[in-house]
Amino acid sequence: MTHTGDIYSGKIVKGFQNGRKFGFPTANIVLDDENKLPDTGVYAVKVTLNDQPLYGMLYAGTRPTLNLATLSIEIHLFNFDTDIYGQTLQFEILRKIRDERKFDSPQELIAQLKKDKEKILCLLNE
């Protein structure tokens, strides 16, 4: 069970680039401890990369809207646009935003991602 404050680390690898196509580029993470996985869903996270604190939203799940079956751990970093493939990052779960779900279309998914991001930005500004 995922708890607020849980800390994870892993290496950033190249994914399918779907997040980028949807306007939400993500860092796909291969966790250092594969036995320690967050529950599926969307989370507000604090990331440490090269000793720099960043914030973003994490998705953990199987991407059912895209009909993919493999588990993915990926983070969309806010206000960040740098090539970080191959680097290691740590992230801390701040709060779960919602459970994983299948959307009827990629457009519906994108609309929800925008709502998720807005909710997280509001939480970070509290």
DSSP, collapsed to helix, strand or coil, labels residue 19 as: helix
Model pLDDT, residue 76? 96
Domains contained in the chain, CATH given: 7-119 (2.40.30.30)
pLDDT for res 36: 83
Bridge partners, residue 61, by sequence? 72
Which range among 13-17, 73-77, 113-117 shows the weakest confidence by mean pLDDT? Answer: 13-17
pLDDT number for residue 118? 97
The mean pLDDT of 90-111, rounded to a whole number, is 95
Confidence of residue 101 (pLDDT cuts 50, 70, 90): very high
Taking the CB of residue 75, how many other CB atoms lie within 10 A of it?
Answer: 27
Indicate whether 90 pLDDT > 90: yes
More confident residue, 36 or 103: 103
Give the pTM.
Answer: 0.91
How many Å apart are CA 27 and CA 19, to the nearest integer?
9
